[in-house]
Amino acid sequence: MEGELNSWQTYWYENGTKKAEKNYLTAELLSAEVWQPNGKKCPITNLNNEGNGILVTYNNDGSEYERLIYRGGRVL
The residue type found at 66 is E
CA 5 to chain centre: 17
Question: What is residue 74's predicted lDDT score, i.e. its pLDDT?
Answer: 96
Number of other CB atoms surrounding residue 54 within 10 Å: 15
CA pair distance 36, 38, nearest whole angstrom = 5
Q: Are strands 53-58 and 74-75 parallel, antiparallel or unpaired?
A: unpaired
Residues of the chain predicted below pLDDT 70: 1-4
Say what the pTM is.
0.86
Residue 7's SS3 state is strand
